[in-house]
Amino acid sequence: MTINKKGQMQMTETIAVLFIFFVLLLFGIIFYYKYQQVAVKEKQEELLAARAMDTTLKMLFLPELMCTKREAEPEDNCIDVLKMRQAKATFRKYMSDYYFGIFSYARIRVVDLVDKQELVLYDKEKTKVLDNGTMVGDWEKLEKTYFVVTLRDEIKGQGEARYDLGYIEVGVYS
Amino acid sequence: MAYRDKKGQIEVTFNWVYILIAGAVILLFFFGLVFKQKAVSEQNLGNDLVRIMDSIFTGAGVSEKTKNFIDLSGLADYTLYFDCVDGVGEYGLKGTSARVENEVDPLFAPREIKGTQLIVWSLPYKLPYKVIDFLFVTSSNTKYFLFGGNTGVFDVESFMNSTEGFKRDYVTSEQYKSIDPGKNFQVRLVDLSGDIIGKGKEVPEKLQAMDNNKVTAVVFRGSNQVDYYQKEGERWTKLNYNTPVQIVSLGGERDAAKYAAIFAADDKVYKCNMQKAFKRLKYINEVYSGKAEEMKIFYSSKTFSKECFGYIQEGKPNLIDALSSQANLLQGCFKDNTLSNCGKLIESAMEIKTVNDNLGEKGDCITLY
């Protein structure tokens, strides 16, 4: 009887130890899972910010838009409006073939602060199709970056270069 | 008593066996975890590396004419590879799944780089307006030997000045036979005269001990053609079997297309990357054609003299025709990947340049670029 009781005690003790062990293990797993969730989210945000910067950088130096002079030397932070108007059509025409490879899912807008005009040069939104067939946006965040530029328009200047102040807004969809 | 002792003995033995098994399982679990984590870390390292490289290449690509020296000492044991097939470039860490594909940026590099310093340099490619930035990637242990004299085909002085910080030497034709690779990972010889390196000719003695794919050569033939060679034993073997590789450029200082021929691993990589440039040229040509149309409408009004309008549409050559000719030639250029039909793009580019110069200098009109 004494041995049986001792055995029962030992068994209960072992079960208790195992229980505590598994509780601790569960805590560990939950903690690790939560940490990973936060880490993944932070990493995603970091990547999104980097993509926004890269896209802005590419945009500013795009040969389709940038002003040049003499031997095609670039003028810094300047957009040639005559080229820009044509570029919009070219971006749209070759969006899936080519320009998606440069800008990915993004929205690029150029705003003329003098004439209060704006032009959406590129817009490729992440989308999904619902069960009822409607297409809706499938993104959580639009990370925007801004850059001040000058807009050169020689036609507005009647043959002479006229420079307006403006900005580029580059938004990337997450 | 004897019975109780025996039971105790069994209990103690059982406990030890239990501890051993449980310990082994726990140890195995942690070993498994460590190995898994190691594999994940290597994968992450590879992914991080290619992502960072992508950012560096983006930065270098847009900041014209800049050279970037990137410390790779932490990755000295890894090999970076670069490839380009059917207009799609690829680079990554050899032996891992970490890689990046790129259909846009022309990247001229050796097939493999293994060293402590990566060198990235960009130059704008113009035909005659800016088309795209060419990215040249090499390493501090990839050595370039130029020889064959200043034939007028290639401006050696300009190249040497531009590539300060690179491992390159200009040697005389007489010194060719005694070229020493030193402790470099690979060697690229550049024959500017076109008659020192040839199929079946002997490889310099000190290079013969190196691996075949680590000794390559580019030979300039005339002003706009090159051939690629690779060491095979003690002799040179030609890589582009049939026709020489066409260089499509307008010449001048810092000729991006010619420099690209020096940094490209072989004819296939060169042509593949040039295809990317011509694809971009097609789109930019459309943009400039649209601009030319707007200029035409603007100058067709009576307010302005007919001179500008003449340069744009009526004169010979004129802007609209020259741009249209370039667009048509590009169609032919895309038909085969030998680039042999792309040579004609030089003429149309020269025409566009002439008209653009006329617009700016003679007519004081709006210029195309």
Residues of chain B with pLDDT below 50 are none
Instruction: Name the β-bridge partners of B92.
Output: B81, B99
Model pLDDT, residue B64: 64
Lowest mean pLDDT among A38-52, A66-80, A82-96, B295-309: B295-309
Q: Is residue A14's pLDDT more than 60? A: yes
pLDDT tens digit string along A153-173? 999 988 889 999 999 999 999
Q: In which band, very low, low, confident or very high, does the pLDDT at A2 lie, cut at 50, 70 and 90?
A: low
Q: In which band, very low, low, confident or very high, does the pLDDT at A3 lie, cut at 50, 70 and 90?
A: low
Q: Kindly list the residues of chain B whose beta carbon comes within 8 Å of any beta carbon in chain A.
A: 51, 55, 58-59, 62-64, 102-104, 124, 126, 128-133, 279-280, 283-284, 286-291, 294-295, 298, 304, 360, 365-367, 369
Q: Is ipTM beyond 0.90?
A: no
Across the A:B interface, residue pairs with CB atoms under 8 Å apart total 82
Model pLDDT, residue B95: 86
Model pLDDT, residue A72: 87
Could you give the 3-state DSSP secondary structure of residue B113? strand
Q: Sign of torsion, CA A150 A155 A156 A159?
A: positive
Q: Is residue A108's pLDDT more than 60? A: yes
Model pLDDT, residue B17: 86
Q: Minimal Cα–Cα distance from A147 to chain B, Å?
A: 16
**Across chain B, what does the average pLDDT equal?**
90
Model pLDDT, residue B3: 56
Model pLDDT, residue B334: 82
CB contact under 8 A, A54 and B58: yes
Burial track B162-192 (b if 16+ CB lie within 10 A, e otherwise):
bbeebbbebeeeeebeebebeebbbbbbbbb
Percent of chain B having pLDDT more than 70? 96
* More confident site: A27 or B3: A27
Model pLDDT, residue B5: 63
The shortest CB-CB distance from A83 to any of B51, B126, B291 is to: B291
Model pLDDT, residue B196: 94
CA distances from B32 to B38, B103, B142, B158 (A): 10, 39, 40, 57
Percent of chain A having pLDDT more than 90? 71
Q: Which residue has the tokens 């020096």?
A: B262
Nearest alpha carbon to residue B120 among B101, B102, B107: B107
Q: Is residue A91's pLDDT more than 90? A: yes
Model pLDDT, residue B79: 93
| A2: Cβ contacts below 8 Å, ≥ 6 apart | none
The shortest CB-CB distance from B62 to any of A58, A87, A94 is to: A58
CB contact under 8 A, A85 and B294: yes
Sheet containing strand B107-108, strands side by side: B67-71, B117-126, B130-139, B107-108
Nearest alpha carbon to residue B68 among B133, B112, B132: B133
CB contact under 8 A, B291 and A80: yes
Model pLDDT, residue A7: 80
Residue B325: half-sphere exposure toward Cβ, Cα within 13 Å: 16
